Structure 1
Amino acid sequence: MNGVALIMRALHRGERRLAEQLEAVAARHRAEHEIHHVATDLARWSDEHCLRIAGEGVRHGLGLDGPAPDAADAGGTGAADAADHPDAGLLLLHDLWELHLVAAGNSLYWEMLTQAARAGHDDELGRLAAACHPRTLRQMRWTTTMLKNLSPQTLTVACDGSA
């Protein structure tokens, strides 16, 4: 298997993981409407990325499947509702942090794929990366924005409550 195929396989796995985690966060933080709705929308982007990578993977001899089955179809994510958690705010910050790290990893894979497409003069692969990478960057910007907005109050309340 060549390097491009390895990156595509890793990227497919990463996008699938991000979609699953976004769905779990949306379910766990259902009471936080912005989190719930935006995470659900962003999960759809990663699902679409999985489908597009799988389609392009055929050209590279890969047998990748599409996105993961819906959590509802698979019997749920097992994620408890955060509203019942005593430290729901801290749990949300942790969830956003994890989402950001997965999205950042995917972004690096998209960048590597872009560079490989340029070096190999592979226009189709370049178009795939050009279409999907900006969405991954948007996913990262959302987690960063949410962490910036939620951290001050969540962390100072958590600190005051434990002092």
Structure 2
Amino acid sequence: MNGVDLTLRALHRGEQHLAKELTTAAERHRADHEVHHVATDLAHWSRENAQRVADVGRDRGLHLGDPPKDHSPGLLSAVRERAAEALVHRPEPALLLLRDLRDLHLGAAQNSLYWEMLGQAAQATRDDALLSVVSACHPQTLRQMRWTNTMIKILSPQALSSL
């Protein structure tokens, strides 16, 4: 197994983890419609990216696992929704959202670095298939980072000074 294979494994895990964390944040902050809907869309992007990484891995003889399943609403989701609605007007949810956004940003940044490394390796080895996947997926990861960064900039002043 070479470095590209190891990086594909790490990126696959990273995209799956980010999809799960985005879905959790979307459920946790369901009362904030923008956060809920955007995080849900971004989670879908990470699931798609994970699938594309798995496909590239399979072409290289790697088995990166089954694709992550979309989370269906259930009892836990209903409890999270009611808790989010009950806490929407208290300052603590804003701090929780900032923490979630920070963690999401760091996860996306980690994935972005893996995409960058794979892109450089694909260019050096003239691996057009890998370069094609990197070119399609990395911009989505960069958009995930821009969204979390923008939300942190918008929410930080009020959330941090209202304590």
TM-score with structure 1 length normalisation? Answer: 0.90
Stretches of 4+ aligned residues off by more than 4 angstroms: 73-79
Greater share of residues in helix = 2
Is the 1:50–1:66 Cα contact (8 Å) retained in structure 2? no
What is the RMSD computed on CA atoms of the aligned residues? 1.9
Distance in structure 2 (CA, Å) of the matches to 1:114 and 1:40? 27
Does residue 130 (structure 1) correspond to residue 135 (structure 2)? The answer is yes
Structure 1 portions without partners, runs of 5+: 159-163
Secondary structure at the residue paired with 1:40?
Answer: helix
Structure 2 portions without partners, runs of 5+: none
Point out the more displaced range, 76-85 or 133-142.
76-85
Is the 1:100–1:143 Cα contact (8 Å) retained in structure 2? yes
Aligned to 1:114: 119
Aligned-residue offset at 1:68: 1.8
Distance in structure 1 (CA, Å) of the matches to 2:129 and 2:119? 10
Does residue 68 (structure 1) correspond to residue 68 (structure 2)? The answer is yes
Which residue identity is paired with 1:155? L
Which residue identity is paired with 2:37? H
Correspondence list, 1:23-102, <5 A: 23-72=23-72, 76=76, 80=80, 81-85=83-87, 87-102=92-107
**CA distance 1:125–1:142, change in 2 (3 Å):** same
Aligned to 2:109: 104
Distance in structure 2 (CA, Å) of the matches to 1:47 and 1:74? 20
TM-score with structure 2 length normalisation? Answer: 0.90
Does residue 153 (structure 1) correspond to residue 155 (structure 2)? The answer is no
Equivalent pairs: percent with the same residue?
56
